[in-house]
Amino acid sequence: MSPSMLRQFWSLVDGVRATVPLSLDDTSLEQWLLRKLRSEQPFNSPELDILSDYIHNRLPMIREFAQERQPA
């Protein structure tokens, strides 16, 4: 994954972490994040595969990060 893709992904997560739908199952949350990313920039198929794998492998960390900003 390129540094620019990493920056873009974590910038997106930081920007939406208060609204991340944590009640979604892992697959749905992964798809939700991919849709958010694609709405900001088009990606080709290999890039989407890389992003999908990256998100899938970091879902616990993403959920923890997002829970810190969820309303009480």
pLDDT confidence of residue 72: 55
Q: Is 39 helix (H, G, I), strand (E, B) or coil?
A: helix
The pLDDT of residue 54 is above 80: yes
Q: Is the pLDDT of residue 47 over 80?
A: yes
State pTM to two decimals. 0.86
Stronger pLDDT, 34 or 67, i.e. the higher one: 34
The dihedrals phi and psi of 17, each to the nearest 5 degrees, come to: -65, -25
User: What pLDDT is attached to residue 71?
Assistant: 58
| Domain spans in the chain, listed from the N-terminal domain onward | 1-8+25-72
pLDDT in tens, 1-41: 889 889 999 999 988 888 889 899 999 999 999 999 999 88
Q: How far is CA 61 from CA 40, 46, 57, in A?
A: 22, 23, 9
